[in-house]
Structure 1
Amino acid sequence: MWLWGLFLWLDLRGMLFFIFTVLLIVHFVNKKDPPNFPPGPLALPFLGNVFNIEHKQPHIYLTKLADVYGNVFCIRLGRHKTVFVSGWKMVKEALVTQADNFVDRPYSPMANRIYSGNSAGLFFSNGKVWRRQRRFAMAMLRTFGLAKSSMEQSICEESRHLQEAVEKEKGEPFDPVPLLNNAVANIICQIVFGRRFEYSDQSFQRMLKNLTEMAYLEGSIWALLYDSFPALMKHLPGPHNDIFSNSKSLEASIRAEIERHKLELDPSNPQDYIDTFLVESQHNRNCEVGFNEDNLVLCCVDLFLAGSETTSKTLQWGLIYLIKNPHIQVKVQAEIDRVIGQNRLPTMADRPNLPYTDAVIHEIQRMGNIVPLNGFRMATKDTTLGGYFIPKGTSVMPNLTSVLFDKTEWETPDTFNPGHFLDAGGRFVRRDAFLPFSAGKRACLGEGLARMELFLFFVSLFQKYTFSSLDGVELSTEGIIGATRTPLPFQIYAKAR
């Protein structure tokens, strides 16, 4: 009897060995690269390089890989090959020169679970849905944002609410992050919802909490693991599940706003993005270009993520860098005092007269490195990049960190230096390698609004206050990496000037 059991055990072991061998052969056949494909590090069977990536600072690890394999290299995330593009010249080649070849998003199991069918939002949609929705969103940002004369006034008004919140701290140390999140989010709220929220509004705070957690998790190792091994990860517990619960909670809040808009809608006089979308959906009932209620919800989610997280994070880094460089803070305040004074609010007309302040804001964006890796792209056809063959359907990731810190483009890439944006006469100069908003056809559609917000909020804060850290506390320039790069928790003093 025991011999029969031994035979069965040996037979089972042989069968498992045979299955493993077949799977290994299939893996290496599928893994085989076409001729002249980009090089990259050795990858484990089935797992790829996903566990090689340093999850706390993935952008640094990937930037260093370019030093070894060149500015176009491949790593494997699970079974999927992803080509990473580094350095200003090569990123420009991919995003601008070959914009049409790398305009689409690849399939993402995580995104597919959040977005489905024609309801693909603004970020993950492709083809005619993406083109139509992007044009519509840009038109709405112009209509209710940049082209609306009251938007500048609205930002200045929100600055006053922000200052009132700072004053309530009464000179005690405080965390500025919630206050900046509130102020910045209220600007996109006015464009999308047609109204602002009080900072104490619980529904508003719930939306901001969902946004912050989504922005971290969607760019974390957990999202990478989910996209690499979806069949396994969807059944496992872990933080990746919070991506979907936060998304559902945020969608529920937005649906409540949409229902309110339906009750008050005047088709002849739309007041905001939601109103105009609802009117447009009445003329596009076939939904072929995404004008349906489910897609409206997801477009609003994308607008909030893009329109609040990045700008708020930039202002947070601005406080940190000017506190760490008090001599720069003094120079900014001296220029503001000379041009604007301390009594009237700043306007966008002041920006040309504040070249040093403008240079500082740009350097904050460069060093803050808010979106370290940009979003995945996909080759829409067989093409060549950096002399390497990129087959149709290959995922491509532009590394924006490698551009903002490119040693061939910046005089002191690792040092906070506003001089990067000033000429010998102290006049502001633009730099081609300044890509915090990405570039090409998928560049941030709210760039103009973000620039306005950054300038007006930044100037109004340093016009009224001098900021400092707690005694003996050195603020860190290390960041927490998600979809955006977030400062480590910190507290500051704000002293009225």
Structure 2
Amino acid sequence: MNEIQKCEKTRRPERMLGTTTVLLALLLGLLLLHLIKLRITSAQLPPGPTPVPFFGNLWTLKFQLHHKTIMQLAKTYGNIITIWIGQTPIIVLHGYESIREGLIAKSEQLSMRAERPFFKYYANGRGIIVANGHNWKQQRQLGIQILRNLGLGSKGMEWKIHLEAQRLVDIFTALKGRAHDPKYCLMNTMSNVIAAVSFGHHFSLEDQLFHDLVESSDSVTSFFGTRLGQLYDSFPWLMHHIPGPQQTTFKHLQFLKCLVMQEIKSHQRNPSTEPQDIIDFYLEHISKTKDDPSSPFNEMNLMQIVLDIFLAGSETLTSTFLWGLLFMVLHPDVQAKVQKELDAHFETYQELHYENRKEVPYTYAVIHEIQRCANVAPVGLPRQCAQDVKIKGYQLKKGTVIVTCLASALCDPNYWKFPNDFCPSNFLDEHGNFQSKEAFLPFSTGQRICLGRQLAMMELFIFFTHLLHAFTFQLPQGVTEVNMNGILGTTFRPHPYQICAIPR
């Protein structure tokens, strides 16, 4: 080996070491610049935990935007907080006053749904729940009109709910007090009301298609609020291309879209002489506007609206009822008082109608208290500032993402007598009359308030009174404790449990 080769061999490790040093210095420089940028941006936003580069506060949040974590953070940072999801700052409104200012006083400025990656994958700008702009306004307006045409709040709509309530009573009666998991019975009932409104028919509890529907609905509705959902919004391209449980959710979403589209095609092949359901009315409107090239009414928007209504309507009500039955077995005195009031006014549950709710103020208060304590939608779906806006003294730029902690309004000590306890007195005045509360926001508020809230309240009243008039609910023999921590997805649902419905 000549001298030149020896020198070259000696220089190679030095060059490699030098290259590594330069790369490390470059990486550290980029991290430092990113950290400085984070600090500068954070200084212009409401207070919050210190973010780290790329991941933001995901480590602090344990990769999940949990309402209990938000409430803890509010004790330190106040009622308007900045939380970083990856590299995106999220402004969280905590407490009723902050939420009221954001969603009511500044409703127009905060009317946009945040353009999150999973929302785009779920709906691609269609439908109602996560749509924006002209399309959202047109679809929502038509949705409201269709529900009116279907008789929302009328005897006709209530009769359909009564039929499903009777089926639920029959299912529980057949069990003869045996312990069972009520999830599928309740999901079947809630889904059938939405199916009747959307498709014009209901599903049998034994139908395999129904079980596939429940499994897929569970998967999709739980995804957004989970750690996987937060990771998807931070790294969407990566989550689409790596294996994992998120791939199952993607398949379930496609199954649901195909199912709804099959229902639409079936309606087109066999049109009704008079519109009977959401699909009928929407198809009729498509026909009326077919000559308008700017019309936003089409099959894809119809498919998304039906999917929105089905997922939102069935999942939230099922979760609310699952919590409600747990509250009844944990508070047998409340259950007994409801039954006493119902017995005093109605001989049979067939006499129970939504218009009678004022005759049973305690029962109506219990239903509201179930909704308050269950808080099945504890964190509202993200909004986005449609324009520059000032909230709680902070100037927020157009495009800033806003999240409302609805659970904090439902237990705001400034508005509730017993904010942390299950107590129907929260909705009763000193004379025992029912009284509504402005901080009662289970359906959110403002321009994005739930489209089907009136239908949901009618369902809750009819199903609850039918069941409490017919049964006394108890835990299975030997079971003394219930896990009340809940599982957070898009909704907040209880852990699986078994219960006994004892005929009265």
Structure 1 residues 16 and 235 mapped into 2: Cα distance closer, same or farther (>3 Å)? Answer: farther
Distance in 2 between the 1:329 and 1:242 partners? 40
Q: Does 1:410 align with 2:416?
A: yes
Match of 1:279 among 279, 284, 307: 284
Segments of structure 1 that go 5 or more residues without pairing to the other structure are none
Distance in 1 between the 2:177 and 2:43 partners? 64
Deviations 1:328-373 (A, max 9, x none): 0000000000011236331112100000000000000000011010
- Residue of structure 2 in register with 1:397 after alignment: 403
Deviation at 1:172, TM superposition (A): 1.1
Deviations 1:217-255 (A, max 9, x none): 122111111101223222222222233111101111111
Deviation at 1:171, TM superposition (A): 2.0
Amino acid at match of 1:99: S
Match of 2:464 among 427, 445, 458: 458
SS of alignment partner, residue 100 of structure 1: coil
Amino acid at match of 2:48: G
Amino acid at match of 1:109: P
TM-score scaled by length of structure 1: 0.95
Amino acid at match of 2:121: R
Q: Does 1:100 align with 2:108?
A: yes
- Residue of structure 1 in register with 2:31 after alignment: 24
Match of 1:7 among 11, 14, 33: 14
SS of alignment partner, residue 82 of structure 2: strand
1:73-84 paired onto structure 2 within 5 Å: 73-84=81-92
Amino acid at match of 2:155: S
Match of 1:376 among 375, 379, 382: 382
Amino acid at match of 1:391: K
- Residue of structure 1 in register with 2:222 after alignment: 216
Q: Does 1:122 align with 2:128?
A: yes
1:223-242 paired onto structure 2 within 5 Å: 223-242=229-248
Segments of structure 2 that go 5 or more residues without pairing to the other structure are 1-7
Structure 1 residues 345 and 8 mapped into 2: Cα distance closer, same or farther (>3 Å)? Answer: farther
Q: Does 1:482 align with 2:493?
A: no
Distance in 1 between the 2:295 and 2:17 partners? 59
- Residue of structure 1 in register with 2:3 after alignment: none
Compute the RMSD of aligned alpha carbons: 1.8
Deviates more, 1:210-219 or 1:4-13: 4-13
Distance in 2 between the 1:422 and 1:175 partners? 32
- Residue of structure 2 in register with 1:434 after alignment: 440
SS of alignment partner, residue 495 of structure 1: strand
Deviates more, 1:11-20 or 1:65-74: 11-20
Distance in 1 between the 2:336 and 2:233 partners? 47
Deviations 1:425-459 (A, max 9, x none): 10000111111010000011100000000000000
Identity, % of aligned positions:
35
2:64–2:225 Cα contact (<8 Å) kept: no
1:312-323 paired onto structure 2 within 5 Å: 312-323=318-329
Distance in 2 between the 1:345 and 1:476 partners? 35
- Residue of structure 2 in register with 1:328 after alignment: 334
Deviations 1:20-66 (A, max 9, x none): 14532552454322765211111111110012114578110011111
SS of alignment partner, residue 33 of structure 1: helix
2:64–2:230 Cα contact (<8 Å) kept: no
Deviation at 1:148, TM superposition (A): 4.4
- Residue of structure 1 in register with 2:266 after alignment: 260
Deviation at 1:191, TM superposition (A): 0.9
- Residue of structure 2 in register with 1:308 after alignment: 314
TM-score scaled by length of structure 2: 0.94
Distance in 2 between the 1:283 and 1:12 partners? 69
Structure 1 residues 57 and 19 mapped into 2: Cα distance closer, same or farther (>3 Å)? Answer: closer
Deviates more, 1:3-12 or 1:300-309: 3-12
Deviation at 1:289, TM superposition (A): 5.3
Q: How many residues align?
A: 494
Amino acid at match of 1:228: S
Amino acid at match of 2:438: D
Distance in 1 between the 2:71 and 2:9 partners? 58
Structure 1 residues 104 and 457 mapped into 2: Cα distance closer, same or farther (>3 Å)? Answer: same
Amino acid at match of 1:219: G
Distance in 2 between the 1:148 and 1:349 partners? 10
Amino acid at match of 1:487: P
1:145–1:191 Cα contact (<8 Å) kept: no
Task: Name which one, 1 or 2, has greater alpha-carbon Rg.
Answer: 2
Match of 1:40 among 37, 48, 51: 48
1:57–1:481 Cα contact (<8 Å) kept: no
Deviates more, 1:297-306 or 1:87-96: 297-306
SS of alignment partner, residue 113 of structure 2: coil
Match of 1:202 among 187, 208, 224: 208
2:63–2:231 Cα contact (<8 Å) kept: no
Amino acid at match of 1:13: T
1:145–1:449 Cα contact (<8 Å) kept: no
Distance in 1 between the 2:372 and 2:345 partners? 25
Distance in 2 between the 1:204 and 1:240 partners? 22
Amino acid at match of 2:169: Q
